[in-house]
Amino acid sequence: MTDKSTIVYTLTDEAPSLATCSLLPIVRTFTRAAGIEVTISDISLAGRILSAFPERLKEEQRVVDGLAELGKLTQDPHANIVKLPNISASVPQLRACIAELQGQGYDVPDYVDAPKTDAEKDARERYSKILGSAVNPVLRQGNSDRRAPAAVKAYARKYPHSMGAWSKASRTHADYMTGGDFFSSEQSITSEKAQDVRIEFVSKSGQVELKKTLPLEQGEVLDSMFMSSKALRAFFEQTLEDSKNTGVMWSLHVKATMMKVSHPIVFGHAVSVYYKDLFDKHGELFKELGVNPNNGLSSVYDKIKSLPDSKQEEILHDLHACYENRPEMAMVDSVKGITNLHIPSDVIVDASMPAMIRNSGQMWGRDGKQKDTKAVMPESTYARIYQEVINFCKTNGAFDPTTMGSVSNVGLMAMKAEEYGSHDKTFEMTEDGTMRVVDADGNVLMQHEVEKGDIWRACQTKDAAIRDWVKLAVTRARNSDTPAVFWLDEERAHDNELRKKVEAYLQEHDLEGLDIRIMSYNEAIRFSMERMKRGKDTISVTGNVLRDYLTDLFPIMELGTSAKMLSIVPMLAGGGMYETGAGGSAPKHVQQLMEENHLRWDSLGEFLALAVSLEELGIKEHNSRAKVLAKCLDKATEKLLENGKSPSRKTGELDNRGSHFYLGLYWAQEVAAQTEDAELAAEFAPFAKALSDNEEQILAELAAVQGKPAAEVEGYYHADREGVKKVMRPSATLNGILASANA
């Protein structure tokens, strides 16, 4: 149980966590006046690792399991959580964090690829819960409501971000499987009663292996599907040959972080097909060394370090020889020679595709030049929409941020809906046979013939989540007076099950005057884009994966970033979570801070989320001061945008810390100027004056530290908090004003 007047603010990783150190003291100065406490919950990668191994740590090293506590809080109707972006750790990231913690004297175990001892297996099991997108599934106990705040949209129209022109002659295209993938094999049922079903594997010899028992609720939708590894590998080979023949650069776009079980395998196949000659020749040796293509080519570089120099050279020679017979590949960092296949977490489809689309449909080649690309996204379920966008841009030219409409999203996210909850029901086949879902009476509900290497998975979607999603869609359509389109594909078994429910649950609402439609994906995105081009808004009402993809795609085109979106999770239990943008945790920002003491992270998402958090708290807990603070914060944010006080990317100019100062200044001025609560206004007048009077001095102090390395920040994943504080709060004058305001 939480106090009714508490906002829980998450401490995460990288740039957002650094920014928090600067922003929170300012925020608390305001919330204190409304009797609201802003508490911190550590859900950083390092924190999660430490809390997983209490028995190995000294008493003083132990930390509480912030994520578990927050998870409980989501069930509280009073929950009010402001959630910042965190790391969805890939294996290399996890390893780096473990190494850092070990170096700091924490006795956490290694992450072992092929655990043998019980201890290793136990550690591996605990780490598996930390890997990938481990935070969101725990916290997102509701559906998703994402939209561009009016102030942000207006600002983007007035001061448009850069948008690369599209050539009608562009060769860029999406390429995806047309058979053998999850889309082609999807089956779906709706459970008519609460029941336990079994996922079983039946071998060719008839042996039945229980893979998992699943409790299903009444009305729950269960899907099963598989991707053929043979078809996948043949597809990769074919895309490589086509790229080679047409001279179009090859690139791979998956989501190995969120789809942490299936997509690393898909990624691994891409690596071992692209570098086929290398793996053919050195396969045995690689196996001995523990090279895992699922971790990217970096795994080869890592593991061969133990070999004699001459052998290493031979392998590197063979590796480079692969490039001769393969098409040019898109680079993540052409300066450092980091390719698309280096690490599975580098290229994440929902961010990489919009970036490509914004960039004239081009990615970077080995020579550092922009080039048209074949964007390979094996699974065709959602990949098709990107081809539709590409076709649209070729036909109509790039979207124009100054005139384009907005596509907001109502996403089916609650209760680990759909693919994003499938990790514990995803299996890589170790032999040929049949995967099947069987009920208690032995009836086979669904089954697939599979082969060794195929990836089979089941996905669940709870009836309560669907019902709430439909309700949220109707509410959003009503409140925003905007057409809402349910994206349900006629060719998907799962969507056809959902369609029945959607049609039924829509009848529970007053639809008078609303424009609510159901369309297949390609129709829906085309419809939305046609409207968008004409400056009209549309609500996309989608499943969980499209929620994720679209809330990057459209915001990046509209606003240049998805970090400026309002992202609200109205929880099923009644509470609310306010996410601060989907912009990732920005490792490059940290790098710049470390080297030049400039943090370009934009906390706009935090400002917007905090305003909604305060507004909701004000409404639910009848806290009028919270409402006043919310209103003033929104006005302050608008002023900040209008006056150009967002962080600059360039060292030496205003950065995250300076932007926080201006937010505090404008917010205080708004509170002092408002007339709803005269007492509050009076209270904040001197604070506003102090900030205003000392503007020059504070800016000078903030500017003075820039340009040199931020030496005090020790540690990347688990930085010393005191060091961070020194770096992130360098203005003695500002610190003094805050201290006296809170005295």
Asked if 171 touches a second copy (CB under 8 A), the answer is yes
Nearest-10 Cα torsion for 112, 115, 116, 118: 100
Q: In the complex with a second copy, which residue's Cβ is closer, 30 or 392?
A: 392
Asked if 117 touches a second copy (CB under 8 A), the answer is no
Decide the pairing of beta strands 576-579 and 80-83: parallel
Which residue type, as a one-letter code, is found at position 259?
M
Please select the residue that binds a second copy; options are 116, 168, 204, 305, rule is CB under 8 A: 168
Q: Are 416 and 217 in contact (CB under 8 A)?
A: no
Residue closest to 86 by CA, chosen among 14, 9, 8: 14
Q: How far is the CB of 53 from a second copy (least distance, A)?
A: 49
Asked if 248 touches a second copy (CB under 8 A), the answer is yes
Q: How far is the CB of 169 from a second copy (least distance, A)?
A: 4
Coil/strand/helix, residue 626:
helix
Which residue type, as a one-letter code, is found at position 32?
R
Q: How far is the CB of 641 from a second copy (least distance, A)?
A: 32
Please select the residue that binds a second copy; options are 310, 395, 443, 675, rule is CB under 8 A: 395
Residue closest to 660 by CA, chosen among 685, 630, 683, 633: 633
Q: Tally Cβ neighbours within 10 Å of residue 180.
A: 21
Q: Which pair of tokens denotes residue 484?
A: 């809402």
Q: Are 198 and 438 in contact (CB under 8 A)?
A: yes
Distance CA 590, CA 87 (A): 13
The residue to which tokens 């080995």 are assigned: 366
- Residue 84 labeled ligand binder: yes
Asked if 5 touches a second copy (CB under 8 A), the answer is no
Q: How far is the CB of 550 from a second copy (least distance, A)?
A: 19
Asked if 391 touches a second copy (CB under 8 A), the answer is yes
- Residue 602 labeled ligand binder: yes
Burial 532-543 (b: 16+ CB within 10 A, else e): bbeeebbbbbbb
Distance CA 110, CA 88 (A): 19
Q: Are 528 and 538 in contact (CB under 8 A)?
A: yes
Q: In the complex with a second copy, which residue's Cβ is closer, 35 or 247?
A: 247
Q: How far is the CB of 496 from a second copy (least distance, A)?
A: 16
DSSP 256-302: TTTSTTHHHHHHHHHHHHHTHHHHHHHHHHHHHHT--GGG-THHHHH
Q: Tally Cβ neighbours within 10 Å of residue 162.
A: 8
C-alpha distance from residue 389 to each of 361, 457, 535, 582 (Å) = 10, 29, 17, 21
Please select the residue that binds a second copy; options are 22, 251, 387, 656, rule is CB under 8 A: 387
Q: How far is the CB of 384 from a second copy (least distance, A)?
A: 8
- Residue 318 labeled ligand binder: no
Q: In the complex with a second copy, which residue's Cβ is closer, 499 or 526?
A: 526
Distance CA 125, CA 117 (A): 12
Asked if 472 touches a second copy (CB under 8 A), the answer is no
DSSP state of 346: T
Tell whether the torsion through CA atoms of 309, 311, 312 and 317 is positive or negative.
positive
Stretch that binds a second copy, among 118-126, 243-251, 616-624, 637-645 (CB under 8 A): 243-251
Residue closest to 301 by CA, chosen among 280, 283, 281, 319: 319
- Residue 350 labeled ligand binder: yes
- Residue 134 labeled ligand binder: yes
Please select the residue that binds a second copy; options are 69, 76, 113, 242, rule is CB under 8 A: 242
Asked if 394 touches a second copy (CB under 8 A), the answer is yes
Please select the residue that binds a second copy; options are 5, 61, 75, 170, rule is CB under 8 A: 170
Q: In the complex with a second copy, which residue's Cβ is closer, 532 or 640?
A: 532
Q: In the complex with a second copy, which residue's Cβ is closer, 487 or 687?
A: 487
C-alpha distance from residue 731 to each of 22, 280, 369, 648, 672 (Å) = 10, 59, 41, 18, 23
Stretch that binds a second copy, among 387-395, 437-445, 630-638, 703-711 (CB under 8 A): 387-395
Please select the residue that binds a second copy; options are 55, 60, 118, 169, rule is CB under 8 A: 169
- Residue 584 labeled ligand binder: yes
Please select the residue that binds a second copy; options are 328, 372, 537, 677, rule is CB under 8 A: 372
Return the half-sphere exposure (C-beta side, CA atoms, 13 A cut-off) of residue 281: 12
With contacts defined by CB under 8 A, how many residues of the chain interact with a second copy? 19
Q: How far is the CB of 387 from a second copy (least distance, A)?
A: 5
Q: In the complex with a second copy, which residue's Cβ is closer, 95 or 526?
A: 526
* 252 CB-near residues (< 8 Å, 6+ apart): 267, 270, 340, 341, 347, 376, 377
The separation between CA 152 and the C-alpha centre of its own chain, rounded to angstroms, equals 20
Stretch that binds a second copy, among 169-177, 300-308, 416-424, 451-459 (CB under 8 A): 169-177
Q: Which pair of tokens denotes residue 644?
A: 């150009």
- Residue 135 labeled ligand binder: yes
Please select the residue that binds a second copy; options are 5, 128, 167, 651, rule is CB under 8 A: 167
Interface map 521-560 toward a second copy (x if CB under 8 A): -----x----------------------------------
Q: Which pair of tokens denotes residue 653?
A: 């100019």
Q: In the complex with a second copy, which residue's Cβ is closer, 170 or 370?
A: 170
Asked if 374 touches a second copy (CB under 8 A), the answer is yes
Stretch that binds a second copy, among 127-135, 164-172, 266-274, 696-704 (CB under 8 A): 164-172
Stretch that binds a second copy, among 94-102, 161-169, 440-448, 473-481 (CB under 8 A): 161-169
Please select the residue that binds a second copy; options are 78, 173, 501, 589, rule is CB under 8 A: 173
Q: How far is the CB of 652 from a second copy (least distance, A)?
A: 38
Burial 98-120 (b: 16+ CB within 10 A, else e): bebbeebebebbebebebeeeeb
DSSP state of 562: S
- Residue 610 labeled ligand binder: no
Q: Are 9 and 22 in contact (CB under 8 A)?
A: no
Interface map 302-331 toward a second copy (x if CB under 8 A): ------------------------------
Residue list for the binding site for substrate: 133-140
Residue list for the binding site: 83-88, 133-140, 146, 350, 547-548, 552, 584-585, 589, 600-602, 649
Residue list for the binding site for D-threo-isocitrate: 146, 547
Residue list for the binding site for Mg(2+): 350, 548, 552
Note the residues at the interface with a second copy (CB under 8 A): 167-171, 173, 175, 242, 246-248, 372, 374, 387-388, 391, 394-395, 526
Residue list for the binding site for NADP(+): 83-88, 136, 584-585, 589, 600-602, 649
